[in-house]
Amino acid sequence: MRKSSVLFLGLTIEVTLLGLLLVHASLSESAQQTIFAQKAELVKTLRLTDLCLFTEARYTRHLSQADLTTAFQDHPLSLEHFPSGSFTQPLVKIEQP
């Protein structure tokens, strides 16, 4: 079998699998909507706040509740030692006049 035949066979299989995944996603959308509605009601009932994105450092857990100097609590020139700090944008406080 030629290498091009193997390539096109692989591409055909992958495109078919992608199509089946898209069909599955569209068929299960209604079930996902009911689950999403239940989770939204739970969040409203429990009065949950922000989403916890990272579990490493307290200033990356809840970005809206962290102060600007928490990352440098050991030393003002200390380097970031948690990887999650490099994935988030620094918070900027806007002063109201």
CA distance 67 to 65: 7
Residues 43-67: tens digit of each pLDDT: 889 887 766 667 776 666 666 666 6
pLDDT at res. 55: 72
Could you tell me the pTM of the whole model?
0.42
- Does residue 57 sit in helix, strand or coil? coil
Domain boundaries, the chain: 3-46, 49-92
pLDDT reading at 78 higher than 70? no
